[in-house]
Every structure is written in structure tokens, then in C-alpha cells.
Amino acid sequence: MEFIDFVSMLHKKTARDYVARVNEIPKADAAKRAIQWGYDYWDGDRKFGYGGYRYDGRWLPVAEAMARRYGLRRGHSVLDVGCGKGFLLYEFTRAVPGVTVAGIDVSEYAIENAKPEVREFLRVGHANSLPYEDAGFDLVISINTLHNLYNYDLGRALGEMERVGRAHKWLCVEAYRTEEEKVNLMYWQLTCRALHTPEEWEWIFGQAGYTGDYGFIFFE
């Protein structure tokens, strides 16, 4: 188990006004709409989520970096737990021609509006009960998904990643190191259920028997 940063370069490209995020609309109302995982969250106004989650190619460098790190090649398989619209999985098919991809997400809207090239490989489901066989994938990833689970579901979800992965695993969750980052995270987030420091997350990983790599997103 090792800390590896694949995605902060993308996270830091977005400018965020944390105070405006709280003041522009009652935060609880925005969160109630976001947690439905429908149009509002993915393609509605920014205050409810992404503000339009459209393909722009930004995930290709991430797929390429993961492919190098984990030695992916033709015939290998990748599962994305919390795949959203499948943009990263599509980039894996570009980075490693001949790779097999699969994705699962709790959002029916995301799957229905996924990248057409990979939509047939995606399905609706929950991270704590993956509908895949044991040791079925060479790489299992999960980006900015597990922090949306309640603490009592984290062990099951991490255990499921372990079960279906036969080689490499990597996940990323939001975390905070300082009181400033904690407040920024609470101001910005809409769907988080598990808010922890890196040390707390590492403890949770260990308790669950998770052996894969991991990264964190911080709201600086």
C-alpha cells in the first residue's frame, strides 16, 4: 500500500470560491439535489455539482500515468468503481489499445449519458456490492467515490475492491490536513459522508484489509 498522486494536477486547475459556494443557495438544498445523482449533479448549475461534466480529454494523462505505473498492456482489464460518465475508462482504451474496461456507478443518469464508446461496458450499482467475479481485473480504481459512503459501508466497499482485483488497486478520496482545509472541504462538498484526515483514511484502509495504493484530494 503506497501513496501515489495521479489526479491533484487536475484538481488544482479549478479555481474555487468556497464562501460563495455556501452563500449562493442554502447548502442543504443544494446537497439534497446533488445526492440524487441526476441531471442537476452532472449537468445542471455549478452550485449543484459539476456544472456540466463534459468530455474534454483531460483524463488521458491520468490513464497514461496509471498504465505506466501498473504495466497495463493489451488484454489486461480495468474496473472503475464510481465511473461516472466513463471518461477515464475511455482514456484507458486510448492509452492502452486492446485493454478491457468495465465501470459501475450509482447514478443511472451518468450511465445513460456516458461516453458512447464505453457505455456498453458500464452498469448501475453500488460500491459495497460489486457484481463481478473474484480476481476479475488487473487494475481496480475508484476516484472521488468512497468518501460519499457512510463509514459503515467503507469496509465493505474496500473489501469488494480487494475481492475483484487480482493485481493492482488504486483509490482517491477527499481529505483534510488542517482546519482551513477541513472548512474548505465542508464548504465545497455536496455529497460527502466520510470526512477524514489522511491518517484516519489510512487507518480505515488497514482495518478493511485494503492492500492497494491510494491518493488524496485536498481543498487548499
Q: Is the pLDDT of residue 16 over 90?
A: no
How many percent of the chain have pLDDT more than 70? 100
Q: Is the pLDDT of residue 197 over 80?
A: yes
User: What was the pLDDT predicted at 17?
Assistant: 86
Q: Is the pLDDT of residue 23 over 90?
A: no
User: What was the pLDDT predicted at 211?
Assistant: 96
- State whether residue 77 is helix, strand or coil: strand
Classify residue 50: in a domain, yes or no.
Answer: yes
Classify residue 1: in a domain, yes or no.
Answer: no
Classify residue 42: in a domain, yes or no.
Answer: yes
- pLDDT (average), residues 206-218: 97
Reading the block at residue 173, the C-alpha cell is 478520496
Classify residue 118: in a domain, yes or no.
Answer: yes
Classify residue 105: in a domain, yes or no.
Answer: yes
Q: Which domain holds residue 157?
A: 8-217
Model-level pTM? 0.94
Classify residue 64: in a domain, yes or no.
Answer: yes
How many percent of the chain have pLDDT more than 90? 90
72-85 pLDDT, tens digit each: 999 999 999 999 99
Classify residue 2: in a domain, yes or no.
Answer: no
With 0-12 / 13-18 / 19 or more C-beta atoms within 10 angstroms meaning exposed / middle / buried, residue 169 is: buried
Which CATH number fits the domain that encloses residue 121? 3.40.50.150
Q: What is the mean pLDDT of the chain?
A: 95
Range name among 26-30, 62-66, 81-85, 212-216 with the lowest pLDDT average: 26-30
Number of independent structural domains in the chain: 1
Residues in Cβ contact with 195 at an 8 Å cutoff, skipping those fewer than 6 apart: 147, 174, 176, 182, 185, 186, 189
Residue carrying the nine cell digits 484489509? 209
106-148 pLDDT, tens digit each: 999 999 999 999 999 999 999 999 999 999 999 999 999 999 9
Residue 21 pLDDT grade (very low, low, confident, very high; cuts 50, 70, 90)? confident
Classify residue 178: in a domain, yes or no.
Answer: yes
CB-based contacts of 45-51 (< 8 A; 24+ apart in sequence)? 47/21, 48/190, 49/190
Residues in Cβ contact with 175 at an 8 Å cutoff, skipping those fewer than 6 apart: 185, 196, 197, 198, 201, 216, 217, 218
DSSP secondary structure of 113-159 = TS-TTTGGGEEE--TTS--S-TT-EEEEEEES-GGGS-HHHHHHHHH
Reading the block at residue 96, the C-alpha cell is 492502452
User: What was the pLDDT predicted at 122?
Assistant: 98
152-178 pLDDT, tens digit each: 999 999 999 999 999 999 999 999 999
Residues in Cβ contact with 42 at an 8 Å cutoff, skipping those fewer than 6 apart: 49, 50, 52, 53, 84, 85, 107, 109, 110, 113
